[in-house]
Amino acid sequence: MKKPGLKKRLRVKNIFVFLIVLYFGFQMFSVISFLDLNNVKGVAKYYLENDIKDTQSANVVTSIVVNYRGFDTLGEVTVLFLAATGLGAILSGHRKVKKQKILANTMLQYGSKPLLAIVILFGAYIFIHGHLSPGGGFQGGTVIATGFLMMLLALEGYEIKHGYVKWTESLAGLTFVTVGLIGLVLLGSFLANFLPLGKVGDLFSAGVIPIIYVAVGFKVGSELTGLLDNMMGVIE
């Protein structure tokens, strides 16, 4: 049976949470009410007509994600980082050094090691060429993470070196923010394209877009790899 004092505290807490949700809901409604939704088509038209001129990127989606709304992409990467950190914190009290005993077939055990290098190379190819073809940092990073998932499933006792994962993730995030701030200082906007644009279709083109996608690819790959390793722990 709940104590009267506990019930009162829970009631106050629920009212407090309700007021917070109500406040943020009101703020969102206020912002949406001032938006001119008739200009949405105009924005899309501008992207399609000016992408080549503004960025020299053959992939319009890449230009939108990394250049036109690059600050929003930074928020998406931050959300992924917070999700990985939160899950790691939740599982930290339950994860053991001992891994699940998985009996993979012999072909998978012997083929996983050389195949890992191919998977990493393919993932890197996706985000390095994100400004030239479909794909990008999120897709390439996910492919790399699946390679390490294969290793966790194929080899009993396989360990992810979390030190390398953390350093890779940190350097990738630092690169993203640094490039963004340089654009802010030089041209007045975060992630402004301050490098030479080159010629559309060339590997060294589109200014800072390839650099940002490489950073995003390594960051996403590192975060997802760490998540997968955390979820492979067992409770004894």
Q: Mean pLDDT for each 10-residue chunk of the chain (236 residues)?
A: 62 83 84 68 80 88 84 81 77 56 71 91 93 88 93 83 87 91 88 89 90 92 87 58
Please, are residues 144 and 169 in contact by the beta-carbon 8 Å criterion? no
What residue type is assigned to position 151 of the chain? Answer: M
Rounded CA gap, 233 and 196, in Å?
47
Q: What is the pLDDT of residue 84?
A: 78
Q: What is the pLDDT of residue 64?
A: 87
Task: Compute, in degrees rounded to 10, the torsion defined by CA atoms 198, 204, 206, 210.
Answer: -170
User: Could you tell me the pTM of the whole model?
Assistant: 0.75
Q: What is the pLDDT of residue 3?
A: 55
φ/ψ of residue 99, rounded to 5: -100, 165
Domain boundaries, the chain: 59-231
Give me 93's structure tokens: 């009290």
Q: What is the pLDDT of residue 54?
A: 87
